[in-house]
Amino acid sequence: MTELDPDLARDGPELTGVELDRRLTAAWRRQPGLIGWLSTTDHKEIGKRYIVTAFVFLALAGVLGLVMRAQLARPESGLITADRYNQIFTMHGTTMMFLFAVPVMEAMAIYVIPLMLGTRNMTFARLNAFSYWMYLFGGTMLWVAFVLNTGPDAGWFSYTPLSGPEYAPGKRVDIWAQMITFTEVSGLAAAVVMATTILKQRAPGMTLAKMPIFAWSMLVVALMIIFALPAVALDSGMLLSDRLVGTHFFNPYEGGDALLWQHLFWFFGHPEVYIIFLPATGFISELVATFSRRPVFAYPAVVVSLCATGLLAFGLWVHHMFATGLPRLGFAFYTAASLTVSIPTGVQIFCWIATIWLGRPQFRVPMLWVIGFIVTFVIGGLTGVMLASVPLDLQLHDTYFVVAHFHYVLIGGAVFPLLGAVTYWFPKATGRMMSEALGKLSFAVTFVGFHLTFFPMHITGMMGMPRRVYTYPAGMGWGTLNMISSIGAAILAFGVLLFVINIILSFRAGRVAGANPWEAAGLEWATTSPPPVYNFPHLPAVASRTPLWDEGEGLPVTTGLRVDDRELLSVTIIDAIPSVREPSPKPTIWPLLSAIAIGVTFVWSIFTPWALVFGLVPSAIALTIWFWPKNPDVPPEPEID
């Protein structure tokens, strides 16, 4: 081993306990006050902000959903105008997909993953902060525009030419397309941070084969984001340039093609569904293992399923386009591919049920969400099988059947696990348990409300009701079913409200949780609740997939990281052998200022192309200062042999 600089203080047998805590806290804490709050690079703070913001967007979009249900409760209802309704359903879809579902999964991972991996912070901590600010600004821009009657109205999918320059006058669709740009930048930044953290910052000994399944799912998802999001970035960029500078990408009369939009959009849009769903399966794997008191059955099968889903997700976008008149022969391929993707999902469901079967299940609140997930999601998966078939899809496509299908998949398949995961990790983040009684009640109400809302939609769809209509004629037989859905929506909203009340009450006066209230096996439970700013006094080292169950209190640790400066331990990608100590950047305001400069450029560029020129200057300045080399006086740390 290379000699370490003896002058630098490091954690180890001689430096431990209170003194270690004091020095690590001094090294890792941020400045107090507003500036410090704005400049933090701590993944826990960023993660919490991300989660809270995403839930605010969930609430906003949920309210829009309720408004739609109120409008549709009766035929020919005049509660809101067609123009308002179209803005509302566009905002509902856009917010749920781009501002809630994907960000909240990243957000949960930003909070939990470094703790699960046993590291002090994420790689590229400032990029992580930047990602949050871009997300916040993009979402805020969209909602401010909506309040000002400039909400996009071409659907969350914004098909050209309806979203093009001629048929979508004004700034509405520009706002939508630019919001995509914001979430692109934010999503890609978060994905890069996530992938590198998972690959390089695991606890020593945590080989890829011993990594928690949630980390696996986030790794797959991060890579999917990196491959999928550029497609929609390109797409929205072309749309903006069609709209703002008069190019003809989507104009068939000048050599463009209206279908090009759909190909690029769904090449992103279908993987997007799995980008939302795979983290949820990661939650489920963690929850099932903890509450069945045994590791997930057939870990390799589950991991292979995750990777297979991630790969297959890129090969089935055309099943959104069966009615567009593409060559029929190709459709058979996409039917087969779409059906194939249910094999890995089926494997995972088997493994979860087998885990419960083989273990000693405890039916605490998170486990109830798991069961709710299986019961609900499988329906969504099976209706997905129907939609994969070309002859069936040609009927079911763009009807309420599809609305029912994807709400079963996205709420049943992603929101239920998410709520379970929030209940599960809430004590880690706050140090307090969520109320069990209120938790059970909110689960029951949400579950009933959900099925009451969305199950009738299968039938409404079969009875011929198309999607995205602001009203429907009386006498079609759709009235009763829609009324049931609307009542269910109110119950569902009440259930979610109970969940939020539970969070608020428990945050103030919940039972105090210890380090490991669920007696779980993952590393995140090895530190205190809530964790100190530096996460772990000594970085843990692991030798199995369930370190806390196998090692108990005597979890082995790694020592030798500096305590007077921010230092992380990088490991080799596959075997997690320590390879290098690397400095972790200090908090700084520049990610925020960069986000503001770039955000202003983005918003401004909707109004004039010159913004790209003028906006470049402050953006370049902010980025330059952000990336200015730091600590040139500290010698580089030696490699670890």
Partner 1 sequence: MSSPCRASLLALVLLAGCDEQARDPRGHPLPETGPLLSAAMNPARPDPRAVDYYKNAFEVSQGQQLFQWMNCSGCHSNGGGGMGPALSDTKWRYGSSMADIVQTIANGRPNGMPSFSGKLTQAEMWQLAAYVRSLSQHVPQSIRSGRTEGLSVGEPSTLRDPHPPRAVTPKQDEASVE
Partner 2 sequence: MRKLRPLLACLALSGCHGRQVMLGAAGRDGSMFANLWLVFLIVTLVFYALVLIGLVWAILRRREGGEPATRTGLLVWVGVISVTLAGLSIASWLVDRNMNRAPFTGLTVEITGHQWWWDVRYTSADPSQTLRTSNQLHLPAGMPVRVILKSADVIHSFWIPNISGKQDLIPGRTNDIVITPEKVGLYRSQCAEYCGLEHAHMAFDVTVEPLADFEKWWAQGLLPARAPVTPLQKAGYAYVTTRECSTCHNIAGTPATGQVAPDLTHLASRLSLGAGTYPMNSGHLAAWVADPQSAKPGNKMPVIGLEPDQLNAVVSYLESLK
Residues that bind partner 1 (CB under 8 A): 34, 38, 83, 136-137, 140-141, 143-145, 147-150, 153, 161, 164-167, 169-172, 242-246, 248, 251-254, 592, 606-609
Cβ burial 260-299 (10 Å sphere, 16+ → b, else e): ebbbbbbbbbbbbbbbbbbbbbbbbbbbbbbbbbbbbbbb
**Quick check: helix, strand or coil at residue 575?**
coil
Under rule CB under 8 A, which residues in 258-287 are in contact with partner 2? Answer: 258-259
Considering CB distances under 5 to 8 angstroms, the limit depending on partner class, which of partner 2, partner 1, none binds residue 38?
partner 1
Among residues 137 and 369, whose Cβ is nearest to partner 1? 137
Nearer to partner 2, 475 or 629 (CB): 475
Ramachandran area for residue 519 (φ above 0: left; ψ -120 to 50: alpha; else beta): left
By CB under 8 A, is residue 15 in contact with partner 2?
no
34 binds, among partner 2, partner 1, none (CB under 5 to 8 A by kind): partner 1
Contact of 335 with 319, CB cutoff 8 Å: yes
**Cβ closer to partner 1: 45 or 524?**
45
The answer to whether residue 248 forms part of the interface with partner 2 (CB under 8 A) is: no
Question: Minimum CB separation from partner 1 for residue 83, in Å?
Answer: 5
First and final C-alpha spacing in the chain: 6
Closest to 526 in 3D by CA, of 116, 210, 218, 209: 116
By beta-carbon proximity to partner 2, the closer residue of 324 and 624 is: 324
Q: For residues 99 and 220, which CB has a smaller minimum distance to partner 1 in the complex?
A: 99
Residue 45 or 242 having the CB closest to partner 1: 242
Query: What's the sign of the alpha-carbon dihedral 336, 339, 343, 344?
Result: positive
Instruction: Name the residue nearer to partner 2 (CB basis): 385 or 500.
Output: 385
Candidate list 383, 486, 570, 594; residue touching partner 2; CB under 8 A: 383
* Residue 63 engages partner 2 in binding (rule: CB under 8 A): no
CB 113, min distance to partner 1, A: 25
**Can residue 36 be called a binding residue for partner 2 (CB under 8 A)?**
no
162 binds, among partner 2, partner 1, none (CB under 5 to 8 A by kind): partner 2
Please report whether residue 390 would count as binding partner 2 according to CB under 8 A. yes
Q: Which of 297, 369, 408, 424 binds partner 2 (CB under 8 A)?
A: 297
Give 136 or 489: the residue with its C-beta nearer to partner 1.
136
- For every residue of 181-246, DSSP letters joined together read HHHHHHHHHHHHHHHHHHHH-PPTT--GGGS-HHHHHHHHHHHHHHHHHHHHHHHHHHHHHHHHH-
Q: Give the span between the Cα atoms of 603 and 284, in whole angstroms.
A: 39
Please select the residue that binds partner 2; options are 257, 551, 575, 637, rule is CB under 8 A.
Answer: 257
Answer with the entry of partner 2, partner 1, none that 148 interacts with (C-beta below 5 to 8 A by kind): partner 1
Q: Which of partner 1, partner 2, none does residue 244 bind (CB under 5 to 8 Å by kind)?
A: partner 1
Using the 8-state DSSP alphabet, how is residue 466 labeled? Answer: B
- Contact between 137 and 115 (Cβ < 8 Å): no
Q: Which of 371, 433, 498, 557 binds partner 2 (CB under 8 A)?
A: 371
Indicate which of partner 2, partner 1, none lies near residue 147 (CB less than 5 to 8 Å, by partner kind).
Answer: partner 1
Q: Which of 447, 470, 499, 602 binds partner 2 (CB under 8 A)?
A: 470
> Any contact of residue 335 with partner 2 (CB under 8 A)?
yes
Instruction: Give the shortest CB-378-to-partner 2 separation in angstroms.
Output: 5
* Closest among 218, 356, 363, 348 to 295, alpha carbons compared: 356
Minimum gap (Å) between residue 80 Cβ and partner 1:
13
In the DSSP assignment, the letter for residue 296 is P
Cβ closer to partner 2: 132 or 274? Answer: 274
- Our CA dihedral for 221, 225, 231, 234, rounded to 10 degrees, sits at 170
Measured from the Cβ of residue 564, the count of other Cβ atoms closer than 10 Å reads 12
The single residue among 308, 459, 491, 623 that binds partner 2, judged by CB under 8 A, is 459
Cβ(445)–Cβ(491) below 8 Å: yes
- Token match 């903006």: residue? 240
Q: What's the rounded Cα separation, in Å, for the pair 58 and 62? A: 6
Min. distance of Cβ 95 from partner 2 in angstroms? Answer: 17
- DSSP string computed for 40-91: ---HHHHHHHHHHHHHHHHHHHHHHHHHHHHHHTSTT--SS-HHHHHHHHHH
Distance CA(345)–CA(82), nearest Å, equals 39
Please say which residue, 137 or 266, places its beta carbon nearer to partner 1.
Answer: 137
Residues 424, 366 contacting (CB under 8 angstroms): yes
